[in-house]
Amino acid sequence: MDNSESKTQNSKHSNYFQFEADFVGSLHCIPMQVRMKLDNCGVKLKLVHWNHFSQLERQTLVDMPCQTPAETQTYREFLQNLVTVKTGQPAKELTIDPHPPWLDDSTIPNDVQTKAQECEVEISLEQWSNLTPAQRFALIKLSRPSHENKNFIPALQEFGVIS
């Protein structure tokens, strides 16, 4: 394997967070990197939809790029076609935030601060700004009141915010 192929393989595996290790092998839950793509393309994919997909289809959604406007459009169309084929109707579409909070390294969202306080943890603005957008995204998702938050502390540990 040449060096560029090795980097590609490593980058695919490094897109998963350690706190997701219990399910990324089987992809029985939607990984954070796919959830971030869903927010980027404005599709509300439910776990019931995800569970209709084959392992290969899930992996395709993990691997497909979704950053540029063209990639985002292609991802949305591929995903909606897949959901429609599997369930008979497309997934709900969401408004795309033109300035998502995970791209703002200058403000810690209230839900993240509240969840940190509940866990008796302090996140400084410097720590927040040193996180990658994907890490900030994960903390935002893991701090939502409606989300099972058992991975919030493991994520903070993994990201070096706490030891």
Average pLDDT score over residue span 49-71? 95
Q: What pLDDT score was predicted for residue 51?
A: 93
23 and 50, same domain (yes or no): yes
Give the domain-ending residue among 47, 64, 93: 93
Return the SS3 of 139: helix
Residue among 139, 109, 141 at smallest CA distance from 35:
141
Which residue segment(s) compose the domain that 51 sits in?
3-93
Cβ-based neighbour number of residue 68 at 10 Å: 9
59 and 118, same domain (yes or no): no
Q: What pLDDT score was predicted for residue 3?
A: 36
Average pLDDT score over residue span 69-87? 97
Give the domain-ending residue among 72, 93, 114: 93
pTM of the model: 0.85
List, for residues 86-115, the tens digit of each pLDDT value.
999 999 999 999 999 999 999 999 999 999
List, for residues 108-139, the tens digit of each pLDDT value.
999 999 999 999 999 999 999 999 999 999 99
For 34-43, b where at least 16 C-beta lie within 10 A, e where not — what string? Answer: bebbbbbbeb
In a domain, 86, yes or no: yes
